[in-house]
């Protein structure tokens, strides 16, 4: 199976990168240079019409959207998501992944990229402040869930752990306090102790180093 992950450092392509490392998959990473608009070029749009990362190129064709990539990889590799034995259990797994992708990620984007939502310093500060407020109950929800076991699904690590860890990294890196979400903080530490996660973080860091060497690293935090 040939797998190529199109990724940008720090972006949500880290979720499949961590997943592929955890799976022990053989895959190639292709850096997408946002500042050069590589994700909006016709060849890329032919694979991912929305022009985003991540994109996973497979022998079956391109797979887009974190939810779909997670579910696709979980059919190819063991140990990435629980095996649902009923349609209801299957729907719950989709709901968990969609919670990250559709409910939490848009709030992360408003915290990290208010310049995509508003013009001018005051308007951007307002978008960011409102998104920080919106993140608080979501963070409590995630913290409560992670207080029930070591991982999202209890004893078994899954893609959901990669997803919430990426969210943790994005929000705490933007100043969201971890003080009131101790279970999530402990989860982040447990993630960072995993060799596969360390390999993924180091691959992501080398993408960042390439962008910096090329003068293409974003100036904003
Ligand atoms: N729902 C999409 C979200 C993808 C997304 O928003 N990716 C961001 C990076 S985290 C991106 O490519 N941004 C570049 C842009 O919008 O120009 C998914 O799960 O794959």
Which residues make Cβ contacts (< 8 Å) with residue 81, sequence separation at least 6?
A: 70, 71, 74, 93, 158, 159, 160
Q: What CATH number should be reported for the domain holding residue 176?
A: 1.20.1050.10
Contact 173, 208 (CB under 8 A): no
Q: Is 11 in the pocket of ligand 1 (CB under 6 A)?
A: yes
Q: Say if 36 falls within a structural domain.
A: yes
pLDDT at 219: 65
Instruction: Name the residue with tokens 């259990």.
Output: 89
Looking at the fold, whether 121 and 133 belong to one and the same domain comes out as yes
Looking from the CA of 27 toward its CB, the CA atoms found within 13 Å total 27
Looking at the fold, whether 130 and 184 belong to one and the same domain comes out as yes
Q: In terms of residue numbers, what domain contains 114?
A: 87-194
CA dihedral for 158, 85, 56, 45, sign (positive or negative)? negative
pLDDT at 218: 78
Nearest protein Cα to ligand 1, atom 9: 11
Looking at the fold, whether 11 and 56 belong to one and the same domain comes out as yes
The mean predicted confidence, pLDDT, of the chain is 97
Q: What is the pLDDT of residues 188-221, one digit of tens each?
A: 999 999 999 999 999 999 999 999 999 999 765 4
What's the whole-number mean pLDDT along residues 40-50?
98
Q: What CATH number should be reported for the domain holding residue 59?
A: 3.40.30.10
Atom of ligand 1 nearest to the CA of 64: 20
Looking at the fold, whether 64 and 106 belong to one and the same domain comes out as no
In testing the pocket of ligand 1, which one of 34, 52, 218 has its CB within 8 Å of the most ligand atoms?
A: 52
Grouping H, G, I as helix, E, B as strand and the rest as coil, residue 30 is strand
Q: What is the pLDDT of residues 72-129, one digit of tens each?
A: 999 999 999 999 999 999 999 999 999 999 999 999 999 999 999 999 999 999 999 9
Looking at the fold, whether 113 and 91 belong to one and the same domain comes out as yes
What's the whole-number mean pLDDT along residues 37-55?
98
Looking at the fold, whether 45 and 92 belong to one and the same domain comes out as no
* CA–centroid distance, residue 197 to ligand 1 (Å): 21
In testing the pocket of ligand 1, which one of 34, 53, 56, 62 has its CB within 8 Å of the most ligand atoms?
A: 53
Q: Is 69 in the pocket of ligand 1 (CB under 6 A)?
A: no
In this structure, what is the dihedral angle of CA atoms 13, 9, 130, 116, given to the nearest 10 degrees?
A: -90
Cα–Cα distance measured from residue 129 to residue 98, given in angstroms and rounded to the nearest whole number: 24
Looking at the fold, whether 188 and 91 belong to one and the same domain comes out as yes
In this structure, what is the dihedral angle of CA atoms 3, 104, 170, 71, given to the nearest 10 degrees?
A: -20
What's the whole-number mean pLDDT along residues 162-182?
97
């Amino acid at each position: 199976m040939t797998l190529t992950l199109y990724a940008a450092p720090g972006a949500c392509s880290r979720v499949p990168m961590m997943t592929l490392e955890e799976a022990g998959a053989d895959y190639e990473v292709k850096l997408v240079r946002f500042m050069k608009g590589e994700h909006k070029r016709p060849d890329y749009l032919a694979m991912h019409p929305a022009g985003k990362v991540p994109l996973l190129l497979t022998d079956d064709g391109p797979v887009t959207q974190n939810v779909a990539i997670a579910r696709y990889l979980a059919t190819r590799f063991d140990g990435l998501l629980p095996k649902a034995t009923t349609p209801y259990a299957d729907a719950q797994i989709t709901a968990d992944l969609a919670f990250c992708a559709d409910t939490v990620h848009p709030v992360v984007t408003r915290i990290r990229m208010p310049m995509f939502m508003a013009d001018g310093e005051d308007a951007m500060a307002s978008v960011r402040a409102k998104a920080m407020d919106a993140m608080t109950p979501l963070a409590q929800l995630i913290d409560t869930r992670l207080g029930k076991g070591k991982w999202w699904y209890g004893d078994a690590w899954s893609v959901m752990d990669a997803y919430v860890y990426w969210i943790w990294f994005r929000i705490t890196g933007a100043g969201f306090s971890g003080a009131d979400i101790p279970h999530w903080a402990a989860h982040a530490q447990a993630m960072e102790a995993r060799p596969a996660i360390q390999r993924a973080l180091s691959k992501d860091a080398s993408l960042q180093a390439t962008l910096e060497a090329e003068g293409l690293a974003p100036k904003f935090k």
